[in-house]
Amino acid sequence: MVALALLVLLTADLVLAGIRIAPPRGALVVRPRGTQPGEFTSISAAVNALSNDTSPQSVFIYPGTYAEQVNITRSGPTTLYGYTLDTATYALNTVTLTDHKDATTAGSNDLSGTLRIEAPHVALYNLDVRNTFGLPRGVNQANQAIALSNYGDRVGVYGCGLYGYQDVLLANQGAQVYLRSRIEGGIDFVFGRLGQAYFKHNTIAVTAPANVTASGRQTNDSGIYLFERNALVKTADAWANTSGNVYFGRPWGDYARVVFKSTFVTVPMAPKMWNPWHPGDERTDHVLFAEHDTYGPGVPAHPQRPNFTTLLTDEEASRYNITFALGNGWADWVDESYL
């Protein structure tokens, strides 16, 4: 029954599945071996070879594991496509971008990112992005190590997988969507300061006792992490003490704003469901930590939500929609087939 409910949640209004096994016209091509003239063996080399102008450009990537860091900085629209037999899901992704770097060694959170986006109008399709620092679970776990560092605006992440341990996704600024993807981590693994991020139809997987989010919003600005119709699960190899020690989030900043709507929960959550930052440094004076229609076998039978959290009415929840998160004009850049 749980598996059926999860399938229904993540396939509702399902994007029309398709295959992507050949590059679109004009795309630069990456493959790990057997390259043809004009092709590349690394993703970074192809991205760096794109025209540095405002024209739309794309890169098509054949199956393989690419051990490197990639930084997207060009001003024009940029799309990275991974080879896949099913564009509608991350489950059949064949392209992995991986690195092993922590923020202390790299010099900052952003610089540790396996994939860094520092430009507007970027779209990612069917790519797995990993930062393996801190894995296997618990090794060097005290250091931040980012898989995707997103400083872009109007960025779409579709059918992708983001994997790491601590601080996996730095959703730091700009409007961004994460649709039909998998985000997997153990500590504060969705975090940032100014990001306007909308998450829908994703699998959010915890690998250890976890606060899923750590919103660092510092003023009453437009930043928000809005989750709608996602599944919160536990990985098969999660720490033994994960169950009962999972929280929706804690406030890195005193104006943290995080909303979870229609979340299907299978991993047993802690009765409080939300946390302050630290005892004696709570940072809860101006937070909005809100829920609506949280359901599933992992929801505590007798929740003990802190007094700084909010349970939204149906009317209140309806106001927190994709337009609220991203602003007017989102339909101009979001791939609506993934909604």
List residues with catalytic annotation. 167, 188
Contacts of 272 (CB under 8 A, 6+ apart): 247, 303, 304, 305, 306
Question: In which element (H, E) is residue 3 found?
Answer: helix 2-11
Pairing status of strand 128-131 against strand 169-171? unpaired
Q: Where are the alpha helices (DSSP H) in 145-291?
A: none
- 81's CB contacts (< 8 A; 6+ apart) are 20, 23, 24, 27, 58, 59, 60, 61, 125, 126
Q: Which two tokens stand for residue 96?
A: 């992995």
Q: What does DSSP say about strands 148-150 and 28-30: parallel, antiparallel, or unpaired?
A: unpaired
> Six-digit token pair at 157?
């992440």
Which of 301, 123, 298 has its CA nearest to residue 212? 298
Rounded-to-10 torsion of CA 23, 149, 190, 85: 10
Write out the two tokens for 250: 């804690």
The CA-based dihedral angle spanning residues 263, 326, 27, 20, taken in that order and rounded to the nearest 10 degrees: 20
